[in-house]
Structure 1
Amino acid sequence: MSSIRGSGSGLRLSQFHRPQFDVNRAPIPELTAESRRCIQTLASYRPPKSPLRYPKSRSAAVLVALFVGRMGDLYVLLSRRSSSLRTYAGDTALPGGKWEPRDKSIEKTARREAFEEIGLPLDYKKVPLLCILEPFLARNQLIVTPVVVLILDKTLRPILNRAEVASLFSHPLAAFLRSEPPFPLETQMLELKYHTYTDIESNTVPGKVRMHTFLTGREAGGTKPIFGLTASILIEVASIGYGREPDFEPYAPGQPTWQQRIAHALRYDPVFREAERAEGIDPDKTPNPESLPDTRSPQGKTRRKRRGLGLLLPPKL
């Protein structure tokens, strides 16, 4: 496995090893035509090259682990975080965590965290890589890269680290493109909408950001909905894989792209600037957010231009 570290300090997350994956030769059970196309699309996806350099100390990864359900549809594994954790206790999440010096790539970060949290094997034949997405910016000042894999071994059984994970469940991937639930609502939930969103002021960049929420169908048992960064990541994975936009508007009016938001943080956020300088990266050489293109369509092409990039100005001192 080749490292994604560029020359010098910092991570270049757009560079990673690409294994040969052929959905037609893989030992996968019966697939719907839509699921087959989705897997093929994800396996051939390449993120746009990024001009940004990220400090390793502020980098993290999550594993989007897909598997094929009984009816040939694709599902994603989700966990309910332990209620004893200091941060995001009880939240619905994807396995993942911060980069560590022993990780040779951001993919290995995601795989290591999934192994530690839910016991997902590190065996690349059982869990091959499909693709690595462009990174997202978390509210706790981390640059989070989603790593998408496909679980081929149906005999695998989770081994939960109870200190971090209370339970594990799954949700249909295609359901992140729909406003209607993929399951019948329980009586006490009939008045709740499956998908909702709220536009909030970002604590990382100027302007508003759309926060999505999806019901899991397990709320009556205490499981929290899928929301925030986890929901945004899964909307992106589903949009790329199925090659279509959701039946709702995923962004707030004038919302900057994730790359533009990360560029703003790298240039102006004191936490990121300190981390960059510690790793020999000059934060003032980060491209201006306004100069970065909008590549938010499922095919990676420029979607309609969005207004509001003027909001990406440095905060007044």
Structure 2
Amino acid sequence: MSTRRKSTGLLNFHRPGTWKSDDEQKLTEETRRCLRNLASYRAPKELRRKAPRTRSAAVLVGLFVGRQGDLYVLLNQRSHTLRSYAGDTSLPGGKVEEKDRSIEDTARREAFEEIGLPLDKRKVPLLCILEPFLIGNASVVTPVVVLILDPTLRPVLNGAEVESLFSHPLKGFLDTEAPFPHEPHLNEVPYYSYNDISWMPAGRRIPIRMHRFLTGREAGGIKPVYGGTAAMMIRVASIAFRRSPDFDVIAPGQPTMIDRIDYVLHNDPKFLKAKEDEESERRSSKRHRHRIRGKL
């Protein structure tokens, strides 16, 4: 007769709470607090926005507990054959598709397609869904944070999209000092740096701070964590550790992320066209349904 494993420990840290990790004893007290903080996070309603489907995307922030009990995030190197952001360090993710029932479904589907991460929510339960981020004035991207519980999982990389997969300490996105020893030839290169680029809404020049973190794998051709991926990871780490980074997150005069999203939703031709197309599609679909009913 089979016996059911008693559910304890990590049940306190995630939803839906049906998986027991054999590595539970390795969790540090700090990691326990981080998981509780993430599991209890709900994006404030005033920070939520719904963009047209063709301009919406999701990324999956896959966290797991390392050998010393601390938290790491899975990152991937994009394939060098991709048309956009080739070779960049990123999170698994992509555009919303019609078959996706939710933004969580989008993130999970993309992670399954890119790196083979199981769709089973018992092995990879949801921790939280963050507020959206504007990426490159082209997409509104929502980070979905999950906890990878099954230590036996092995990645299955989609070579057309992903070159390699690696991890990075979550706390490293709050610090200016490297969480790992520097490679000798990189001793003169700072672990953390930033540059302020110009956002040009309506011809105005507004600063936007872009953060950059070394991965410790630059000698192997892995690019630093930069731009939108860095911004999302700073936010995830800030929620988890409940503290601000050791650096200024935004530039003087920089608008909030939600202000930038609101601007493109109401002013950017790409977003306006996408909204118009979706409304036209809904009207056409509604007329078609009415015709079908009339024939019955």
Sort the TM-score into its range (normalised by shorter chain): 0.7 to 0.9
1:233 is matched with which residue?
232
Residues 21 and 130 in structure 1, CA contact (< 8 A), matched pair in contact too: no
1:107 is matched with which residue?
104
1:78 is matched with which residue?
75
2:54 pairs with 1:57: yes
Moved over 3 A (4+): 18-23, 25-28, 50-53, 203-206
2:175 pairs with 1:183: no
Deviation at 1:257, TM superposition (A): 1.2
Residues 214 and 231 in structure 1, CA contact (< 8 A), matched pair in contact too: yes
1:35 is matched with which residue?
31
1:211 is matched with which residue?
210
1:162 is matched with which residue?
159
Corresponding residue SS for 1:279:
helix
Distance 2:43 2:76 in 1: 26
Distance 1:189 1:215 in 2: 10
1:276 is matched with which residue?
275
Distance 1:176 1:54 in 2: 28
| Structure-2 change in CA distance of 1:27 and 1:254 (3 Å) | farther
Q: 1:145 aligns with which of 139, 142, 162?
A: 142
1:45 is matched with which residue?
41
2:168 pairs with 1:171: yes
Corresponding residue SS for 2:111:
helix
Distance 1:221 1:234 in 2: 22
The amino acid of 2:222's aligned partner reads T
1:247 is matched with which residue?
246
Structure possessing the higher radius of gyration over alpha carbons: 2
Deviation at 1:279, TM superposition (A): 2.4
Deviations 1:174-218 (A, max 9, x none): 000000000111110000000000011025685111000000000
Distance 1:79 1:154 in 2: 18
Corresponding residue SS for 1:62:
strand
The amino acid of 2:267's aligned partner reads Y
Give 1 or 2: higher helix fraction. 2
Query: Percent same amino acid at aligned positions?
Result: 60
Deviation at 1:274, TM superposition (A): 1.2
Residues 93 and 110 in structure 2, CA contact (< 8 A), matched pair in contact too: yes
2:91 pairs with 1:94: yes
TM-score, normalising length from structure 2?
Answer: 0.85
The amino acid of 2:108's aligned partner reads R
Deviation at 1:19, TM superposition (A): 3.7
Unaligned runs of 5+ in 2: 1-13, 281-296
| Structure-2 change in CA distance of 1:27 and 1:279 (3 Å) | farther
TM-score, normalising length from structure 1?
Answer: 0.80
Distance 1:251 1:243 in 2: 18
Deviates more, 1:52-61 or 1:201-210: 201-210
Over aligned residues, Cα RMSD in angstroms?
1.8
The amino acid of 2:228's aligned partner reads L
